[in-house]
A and B are shown apart, each in its own frame.
Chain A
Amino acid sequence: MEPVIETFESRKSHMCVKGDGISIPVCDKASLPGTVTQRTCVYGGARIVLMPITDSIHLVHGPIGCAACTWDIRGSKSSREDLYKKGCSTDLHETDIVFGGEKKLYETIMELNKLYHPGAIFVYATCVAGIIGDDIKAVCKKAEEVTGCRVIPVQSEGYQNHNKTKGHWIGGDALLDYVIGTKEPEKTTPFDINIVGEFNVAGDLWGIKPLIEAMGINIISTLTGDSHVEEIAQAHRAKLNIVQCQKSSNYVAKKMEERYGIPFIKVNFFGLEQTVNSLRDIADFFGDTEMIERTEEIIADGLKEVEHKTDEYKKRLEGKTVALYVGGNKAWSLVRAFEELGMDVMMSGTKNGIKEDYERIKETVKDGTIIVDDANSTELARLLKKYKPNLLISGAKEKYISLKLGIPFCDFNHDRISAFAGFKGFVSFAKEVDASVSSPVFNLSSELGGGLNGT
């Protein structure tokens, strides 16, 4: 069979076309050394999951680069505090490597507590912290006893695994082991939930929260978008967890089910159909007749509000092809939203997918869709060049690979500035996709005798 694209022999099985007899690509393997992988490290995974906790200080225990290259890179918005935006580092030096960095870490925690009195201090282990064997847990415990501030170790040594998802889980473990269940809510209602795996990038949470609250539901906490640590501490009293980013956060939801018996359902607020289904699923879970009726009203109002608002965009987008190359969840959660715009998802891939993620993608996409795993920069460029989608959805590292080939690009990652979730979010989504695809620049001739698109 002809390979999807030319690449190293060992990489060919990481790409397939959905169809008869084909299952899913080989996945969850170490990247090939010496290629330009689009993946990042375990530390990066933990950091993005926890960073949206806005009243907390996020302290990176390592050489300066781990903090310097990652502070405030996540477009998670806050309605209250902005402590989470600070880039804090123990800035380990040679002497710390030789004699250990525990003393410096302890003093650093003391200083931060005194300066900011944060809701919590999350302490992230980096490669160096792991290799020199600093006992971060012990330091955090001691610092917590002395300060009275929550000091939470995150064992996120970057080299632990090829898969950033391990980092998401480690971030989840920090919450499970040190935060969740440590405070009792003042009051409970029959309809208490947590929103799990929603990080409020560009304000997505604010497109979802009002809908859910209008249903008569009490949101105890969000993990972790626009949250405070004391809210997450009460999360164990929820009657239900709804999970938006199932890639990063199924893990936490499953653990909470085991520990506290809280059931969870998977939701998806990208796209109208998915938003409607998600709201109905939540209402059905509680089975409260009044809530079910109210939910139908909310849905009717929501749909009415955006009716015809995307018509103009759809006209231009009809039949256009789109390739998704994302961290994980969006490889399936965005597919229906694009189909609602009349677009054709011709490729879907992830950098860090595991088997269950690819099963999910396979269920969602239509026959003939290319499914790729951990495509490095060369492979991504070859895929774009060979299959010429009208749009690539990905992140900042991929943006210019795509644009240099004359292929329109739309950021669906940390650098996104418009909220895409919920009813109104869908209109912004359509608008932004349209702007990316329909900009006249891509029809302008760059060379004699040809346009940019598909040259």
Chain B
Amino acid sequence: MSCVNVIEKDRNVIINPLKTCQPLGAMFAVTGINKGFPIVHGSQGCSAFVRYGFARHFREPSEIAVTALHEDAAVFGGRSNLVAGIENLALRFDPDVIGVITTCSSEIIGDDVYGFADTARGNLKEKLGEDADKIEIIPINTPSFVESHYKGYDNAINALVNHLARKDEPNEKVNIIPGIINPGDIRELKHMLASMDTDGIFLTDISDPFDAPLRPSKTKEIPYYPKGGTTVDELRDSANSLGTVSICKYAGSGATSLEREHKVPSAIETPPIGLQNTDQFVRNVSKFTGNSISEELLDERGMLVDSMADNAARYLYGRKVAIYGDPDLTTGMARFVGELGMEPTMVCTGVKYPDFNPDMEKISKETGSDIDVLYGQDLRAVEVYLKENPVDLLVGNSDGRLIALDLDIPLIRMGFPVYDRVGYQRQSVLGYRGGLYLMDLITNTVLEKYYEPTHWKLQQ
């Protein structure tokens, strides 16, 4: 009988973290809004280091404003900084949405960001007249000392729908809460929806803002916005959709709110990584829309199964895999690894969600392999574990590259951040086609590492 063995952190210190603080998740979420602008109410570093991280991973500019709190604000409060900040931002960038993102400092000093936002709104009305009304100013509470970036993303999406969603005529669309994923992933989701004749509203959509073309003629005016992102109208309209599919199971509050407030039914599931998780996604969309599953998707599924039949049994069966990263990517990936006949012997996430371990139990039963779950842990824990318990493959972000190097285990790069290779942000790991890409990546890595280079007969 296969089982899950949960290993929790036995020390105070975090060494080589697998999580960061809430504001990052909120900055990511607001970036996915068309003409949406995040403003961080905190120190300059709170925006600067996240912009650096986004630039490094997405290889795109990242525009995040900051109120630049200084010592006087710590004593007297950050009112003047935030009010002036919102005004300057509105005047210069003409945004549709300003996401006001709090930090540890502003939460501890007790700044009333809702009140300050109202003041700024009033001031803007004096300066801009009615134009000021079209700027949505949305406070997002993201205290850095509570939970992680994942919670920050959840809080941001929830704040956006709570603030903007308005009941109106039904729209025949499906809302998607994508989680912290890549532009390539969102494009694959759009492809699957289109294949099922379904219009989606993404809460939110970073695919174009974080993967934009170089077209200087498009940048005549400065500042300029990248095209794409979810529009304010779409965000408002999310209350009228047929349903919400949250493909981040642990950050689905927005879906729950839409169900509670606007009777939009929700499905909150593990992301569509691999065969069965993608099946579930497709079924959910079909359930909400009543549209049948397209021939195109059935073919894509068939092609994944076809290649799994060819590759998985031959090259991957029984190989041990260790997976670390955000909770949804790791559960999704663990299940897929099991489908490929490999054993997800270790799964590590830097955060804690009550459902995580029961979810791993299910995967353990399904795959028949024992799983050691490093729960709320860090990369030091992964390293120590792997020295005792060797595996054939490591799956996770670039921060594990030195572990891979030291222990001579190949690393399949996945998640955020990936900064030591290019192109990963453009690929999808989601959907049947994402499954194919991942399986090929894994198989080729295995061939390169574990097969004799001179032995060409791969069929043997």
Contacts and interface: CB of A to CB of B under 8 A. Distances in A.
A85 B379 CA distance: 13
A162 B243 CA distance: 47
Contacts of A8: 88, 92
Contacts of B68: 30-31, 33, 37, 39, 162
Interface stretch (B11-19, B335-343, B449-457): B11-19
- Among B59, B81, B92, the most chain A Cβ lie within 10 Å of the Cβ of B92
A111 B12 contact: yes
Contact of A34 (B16, B55, B89, B146): B89
A130 interface: yes
A3 to B, nearest CB: 15
B145 A128 contact: yes
Contacts of B212: 404
18 contacts: A30-B68, A36-B47, A36-B64, A37-B68, A63-B145, A70-B49, A71-B16, A85-B402, A86-B15, A89-B17, A128-B104, A159-B105, A382-B222, A404-B60, A404-B214, A406-B214, A446-B216, A455-B217
B73 to A, nearest CB: 7
Interface in B366-413: 380, 402
A373 B124 CA distance: 28
A40 B71 contact: no
A122 B325 CA distance: 28
A62 interface: yes
Contact of A159 (B69, B88, B214, B380): B69
A50 to B, nearest CB: 15
Contacts of B61: 377, 400-401, 404
Contact of A128 (B13, B45, B105, B219): B105
Nearest to A451: B216
Given A37-B66, A128-B108, A455-B217, A66 B45 contact: yes
A70 B50 CA distance: 9
Given A33-B88, A68-B19, A93-B146, A397 B55 contact: yes
Interface string B205-227: 00000001011110100110000
Interface in B259-282: none
Nearest to A406: B216
A87 to B, nearest CB: 5
A111 B11 contact: yes
A13 interface: no
B86 interface: yes
A258 interface: no
A161 interface: yes
A158 interface: yes
Interface in A273-288: none
Given A40-B49, A162-B70, A382-B222, A127 B145 contact: no
Nearest 7 interchain pairs by C-beta: A41-B45, A65-B21, A34-B85, A34-B88, A33-B85, A69-B49, A68-B20
